[in-house]
Each structure stands twice: as C-alpha cells, then as structure tokens.
Amino acid sequence: MLKIGIIKEGKIPADNRVALTPAQCKWVQENFSQCEIFVQRSESRCFSDREYRLAGITLTDSLENCDVLFGIKEVPPQQVLPQKKYLFFSHTCKKQPHNQKLLQTFLSKGCTLVDYECLRHEDGQRIIGFGFFAGIVGAHNGMMAYGNRTGTFQLKHVYQQRDFKTLIHTYFGLKLPNVKIAVTGSGRVAHGILEIMNLMGVIEVEKEDYLSREFAYPVYVQLKGADLYAHKESKPYNRDHFHEHPKDYVSRFENYLPHTGVLLNGVFWDKDVPRLFEKEAIRRKDFRIQTIADITDDENGSVPINVGDQTIENPVYGIDKASFEKTAPYLPNSVDVMAVGNLPNELPRDASKYFGEQLIKYVLPDLFSGESEMIKRATIAKEGRLTEAYGYLCDYAAGKVEN
C-alpha cells in the first residue's frame, strides 16, 4: 500500500493551489487499489478541508505515516520530514540562491526530491506545469493594464472571479481598440495567452501584415523561436542548436518594436538567451510598446525592464523611459510592466484541476509501478544524495555561492 500525502503549503506568501483536487483524490483511491491518500489540514487551500472530507479523503495534521508527499511550492526547510519522498517545484536545479538551504536540508535529512519542473519527455518537453493558466491570467492582466492606461476599456482582476468560466463571462460585450499585440512563445504559457486573445475577439494576422499595415480592429501576431532569434552567421535557425548554443543567436524582436502596442511575453529565457530588446530601446522615438505582460517573469531577463515581482492585488508598475527608474503605473513617460510570480493563484481551482489531471495521467502510474526513467531524470536527490544527473549541484549543496 502506497500512502500519499497532500501537504499544507508552508511557503510565505501562501500558495492556495493543490496537486490533487478532492474529486481527483477520490478517483485515484477508487482506481488504484494499492493507494491511500491523506490530506494535511489547511485553512488557506482553494479546496476546503470539508470538500476533501465529503469526497471520503482522510484529513490529518501530520503526514509522518505517508511514503510520498505532494506539494506545489518549496517546502520551508524547517518543515521537511526526514527520509520522505517529496514532489514539488523546488527551484533548486538552476542553483537559485534563495533555495540553497532547502536542498541542503533534503540531503541532511536523507530525503528524496523529485522536481515537477524536471519531469520531461525524452525529447526534453516538459510534462507537467501550470503554464497554461499563467498564460490565461497574465494575458488578462496585460490587457487590463492596457485598458487602464488608455482609458478605452475596463477589466476587473481575475482573482475577483470564482473560476475560469465566470471570467469568460466578463468578456461579453468587450470592445477593444485597434491595438497591435505581440505574443511570444510556443509552449503552455503561449497557449493560455492565445486562449484569451481568441476569447477577447483579437484577430490573428501574419507577420508580414503586422509589420506593414495598420488595422481598424485589434490584432495579434504569435512569434515563435525562428521569428524571435537569428543565427549570428546567418545560418538557419535550429531549435535544438539554439537551446544548446544560445550565445550564437541574436534577437529579431527589435523589428517589432515600432509596430507593437502590447507585448504578452511567454518565451523561455535563460541567462545566455538573447533578450527580446535591450533596456536602452525604450528611449527610442519609435518604441511603441505601452504595456508589457512579462508572464514567464524573469527579472532582467527576456524583458530587461522587468525589475521584480508585484503582487496579485497590485500587478503593474511603470518604468520611466528616461531614467529606467521604477514608477507608479500609467504615467505619460513610462512603460507599464505586469510581473507576478504566482499568476495561476488567481484561478486556483481551475489551475489545480488542470495540474492534477496531468499528475494522474503521466506521473502516478509510474510511482505505483516503480521507478521510471522519466521520474529518475527528475530526481534531484535520492535518499540524501545528489543523483548523477544533478552532480553539478555539489558546490551549491555544499554552501558555495556563485559570483
């Protein structure tokens, strides 16, 4: 019998999402006879303790009797239980300084850590995540900010709606101005952005038309890898080569700066990947962008004027075009930036259901049948030792800080 525990999220600020909803827990127990699920009591979870109890799931204050523990965000080091197997987003595989102590704790307590972010198919495609709903919420927030700046329309915050279905109803009768919107990326985040574009009635156009003409209605263009990056030596764009050698490429997005009013950014970024534009570009007279929703949210990343996170309640700030200083939003000489690190928390019930479906389909069967190659590839630490694939984290785990 495999005992699975759903942990109470301990990170501050609190995250209200869950790995499995009450209905999903009930389904798992009914369809996997070798499994029993326990849910740690929580006052802040988007599904109440009562909903789990009504679904027939055991509630408990302690998960010490469980074999595998599922969470969402990082577990505070002081809450890590010894010799347990955890699955959550650890944010350690890139040597993130703020989670160094967390990895050290996992090793010292003999724990096993499987990181959702590292669960990938053989071709490197991520298996599980909240990207789609990050795209949904981020695109809405970006358009909300543009409406506030221009005064042409008004949208309420997503978190003020009960669920995605209710959010859709708020778009009935919405009339947007003839703005040009650039959508970057091709993954789950971009799919969420495109869903909102279509629900808002924004028309997709080809790149050539986007760059060469104006429209009497709102339009968007989706820019993927080959549209955004070019090889420095004019060689053809190759996705695998780009991810292996990003320094060999330059950004092509500057071509779109004079033609774009809103940027909805869903592109992957790492430290060697070219930025979409350089910070100094916002001083140019032909820099037309008024609002940027940096949905993938990398500080000083693909959007160089992202200077840090805002809150769900207050998601937008301005960047002064002359000084690059952070300002209040919607000022005449500023560019507005929407940057929030936990966007799916605005639709936690929908996002949790979406996440749990992926977990049930791709991860749970492998847990029940024994270790799979997919889970092995995502296991950062096993029983208190770094696995071979993550040996590069040795110095990080030893307490060293990179310059």
Whether 400 shows a pLDDT value over 80: the answer reads no
Sheet holding 316-320, edge to edge: 203-204, 219-223, 180-184, 262-265, 291-294, 334-338, 316-320, 326-327
What pLDDT score does 94 carry?
A: 86
Q: Which pLDDT band, with edges at 50, 70 and 90, does 224 fall under?
A: very high
How far apart, in whole angstroms, are the C-alpha atoms of residue 147 and residue 154?
6
How far apart, in whole angstroms, are the C-alpha atoms of residue 116 and residue 100?
18
What pLDDT score does 291 carry?
A: 98
Selected catalytic residue, list 26, 91, 109, 376: 91
Mean pLDDT of 285-293: 97
73 flagged as catalytic:
yes
- Percent of the chain residues topping a pLDDT of 70: 99
Whether 77 shows a pLDDT value over 60: the answer reads yes
Do 2-111+348-398 and 130-346 come out as alike in CATH topology? Answer: yes
180 flagged as catalytic:
no
Selected catalytic residue, list 8, 73, 140, 382: 73
Instruction: Report the range of poorest mean pLDDT among 14-28, 135-149, 243-257, 366-380.
Output: 366-380
Residue spans of the domains in the chain: they are 2-111+348-398, 130-346
What pLDDT score does 311 carry?
A: 94
Helix, strand, coil % in the chain, rounded to nearest 5: 35, 20, 45
What pLDDT score does 402 carry?
A: 63
**Is 61 annotated as ligand-binding?**
no
What pLDDT score does 399 carry?
A: 86
Q: Which pLDDT band, with edges at 50, 70 and 90, does 187 fall under?
A: very high
Mean pLDDT of 143-161: 97
Which neighbouring-strand residues pair with 184? 223, 265
Mean pLDDT of 312-341: 97
What pLDDT score does 123 carry?
A: 81
Q: Which residues of 199-217 are buried (b: 16+ CB within 10 A; e: fewer)?
A: bbebeebeeeebeeeeeee
First-to-final CA distance of the chain: 47
Task: Encode pLDDT of 253-284 as tens digits.
Answer: 999 999 999 999 999 888 899 999 999 999 99
Looking at domain 130-346, its CATH superfamily turns out to be NAD(P)-binding Rossmann-like Domain (3.40.50.720)
Average pLDDT, the chain: 95
What pLDDT score does 179 carry?
A: 98
pTM summary value = 0.91
What pLDDT score does 401 carry?
A: 65
How far apart, in whole angstroms, are the C-alpha atoms of residue 144 and residue 316?
10
Which neighbouring-strand residues pair with 204? 220
CATH hierarchy code of domain 2-111+348-398: 3.40.50.720
Mean pLDDT of 328-355: 96
Whether 55 shows a pLDDT value over 90: the answer reads yes
